[in-house]
Structure 1
């Protein structure tokens, strides 16, 4: 049955499903909470801002705990914003929540729409992984996390032959994906696509669900947690559940979590609470389990 434009717009409008704030207020609140976390993180961490990681001068931010080991795990966090808004402060929530655990947090920016295309964003985040791997060759493990559009961009790092970049194939040990979009094709006919200008073919080409076989072959070692808020749009819950099921059917280690009482936005805000927050606990378990054994250097030599 064909779904009309108005129904699709509603289905993929996270701000209209939250129970906390009116739809016209929640995005503004999300940005403000992120800005506050970003300023707090800058005070509490050794940090480097606007570090260039691509030839086109795309930048990332680095947050180092005050005491950090040479082989410290590294978490790359990719912000959301429907590929058209910069939510720079989002990663600070995770940095604050992980600050007592010796984990380096890296927050790459990417070229958002309308200037950037979806494929360009995918390529930039893959470049960020390569940059981080070469900057921290002794790390016990690189982990990816992303929110909404960022969850999508993280998932697009699964069907990648990392050896083509001079890295070990198991470079990414695990992922925590918040409220991700794993099938982009429904968005072609929504308001989201206005600045993106994707065709059906282009949307299919950047949809993680279209690369299940490749993801399971190339990243079978990678452990995945996909988390959604109880008050996320049902379409987001269904996308995460379906994606997890397909990866699991392909032999990957996957966990699907619905976080009680949280919506599309505060599921990330609450990461700053550290061990008091269930998803921070899940992330720490993931990192501990996957980074416990010291691997060989992630960057191949020679």
Structure 2
């Protein structure tokens, strides 16, 4: 349940709270990202506001198909998959080098609300950028509850450290574009500040963590006040690197508002990056616009690559 103080936080403007000295480091956009009826919503309504799997019938079958297709791509790159960057079982990279070792590399962080799925489910989404001559790479990370969100973010940064140091030995030495979907969109946004990352594409991400503490997702995440304050991109100093934000117009309203609010937050600070509403796409079919070589989001990645090479 939402406690009274946080209900007031969601119902009151950021400026009034800050002026009263009750909260700090909360933006108007971060409050806007919370569903409008949050303080009066039932538990079922709160859970449903973020449950993408129930919102999209057949989503389990969609992911199963991705996994089958991804296995074929991974088999073609057997020498550069499952490369360890850390001590934990999921601390591994799958690398897909391009013919040109200096080609831009799309690093893609998988989703699953930080507590489900793995990089092996998503390799096929790199087919479009690989066909265009880019490299691609996919890191794994430990899932909640075996890791806190703080630890997950640290693992992604450690993975990027490894790629910067060891990538050239595996044929990846070009500029890095960090991307991610859903929870991976969040990890992309917080990972943008890593020194090896030049630009980003965040798809269907969560950029304000506060409401999640009131949902079923927190049974495994156990979000702390500190994590909400320091790991919500809408509450952090914005990173001055190009970041494209994308969402499907058929997604849950909370997901749509997270992307729109984060783009407004960055735009107010004159930071580069388009907002791409993908027509009729839901939380899963948005990938139909990254996987093909001529996909809307593939083209956005290629444009980022051209900018970095200019």
How far apart are 1:45 and its partner, in Å?
4.5
Normalising by structure 1, we get a TM-score of 0.82
SS state at 1:272 partner? coil
CA–CA distance in structure 2, aligned partners of residues 257 and 29 of structure 1:
26
Q: Is the 8 A contact 1:47 1:61 kept in 2?
A: no
Residue 148 in 1 paired to residue 166 in 2? no
CA drift of 1:64 comes to 2.3
Q: Name the CA distance, whole Å, in 2 between partners of 1:128 and 1:34.
A: 23
Deviations along 1:215-247, one digit per CA (max 9) or x if unpaired, are 33xxx1x21111101111111111111111111
How many aligned residue pairs are there?
268
In structure 2, the gaps of 5 or more residues are 1-10, 12-38
Structure 1 residue corresponding to 2:95, chosen from 52, 62, 81? 62
Deviations 1:97-122 (A, max 9, x none): 12222222111000001101100000
Q: 1:91 to 1:47 in 2, by over 3 A?
A: farther
| 2:285 is equivalent to residue 251 of structure 1 | no
- Report 1:98-117 matches (<5 A): 98-117=129-148
User: Deviation of residue 129 (structure 1)?
Assistant: 1.2
Query: Could you list the runs of 5+ residues in structure 1 that have no partner in the other structure?
Result: 163-168, 294-302
Query: Map of 1:1-302 to 2, 5 A cutoff?
Result: 1=11, 2-4=39-41, 5-18=43-56, 22=57, 25-26=58-59, 28-45=60-77, 47-56=79-88, 58-65=91-98, 68-136=99-167, 139-158=173-192, 160=193, 162=194, 169=195, 171-211=196-236, 213=237, 215-216=238-239, 220=240, 222-275=241-294, 277-290=295-308, 292-293=309-310
Closer/same/farther in 2, CA of residues 90 and 98 from structure 1, 3 Å limit? farther
Structure 1 contact 93–268 (Cα < 8 Å) conserved: no
For the aligned residue pairs, the C-alpha RMSD in angstroms reads 1.9
Q: CA deviation at 1:88?
A: 2.4
Q: CA deviation at 1:6?
A: 2.0
Check conservation: 1:231, 1:263, Cα contact below 8 A: yes
4+ runs deviating over 4 angstroms = 43-47
CA distance in 2, matches of 1:17, 1:232: 8
Counterpart contact for 2:88–2:142, Cα < 8 Å:
no
**1:297 paired residue number:** none
CA distance in 1 between partners of 2:83 and 2:158 (Å): 13
**Hey, what's the Cα distance between the residues in 2 that align with 1:268 and 1:155?**
18
Q: Which structure's CA Rg is the greater one?
A: 2
Shift of 1:140: 3.5
Q: Deviations over 1:195-234 (max 9, x none)?
A: 11123333222211111x2x33xxx1x2111110111111
Structure 2 CA distance for aligned equivalents of residues 41 and 6 of structure 1: 39
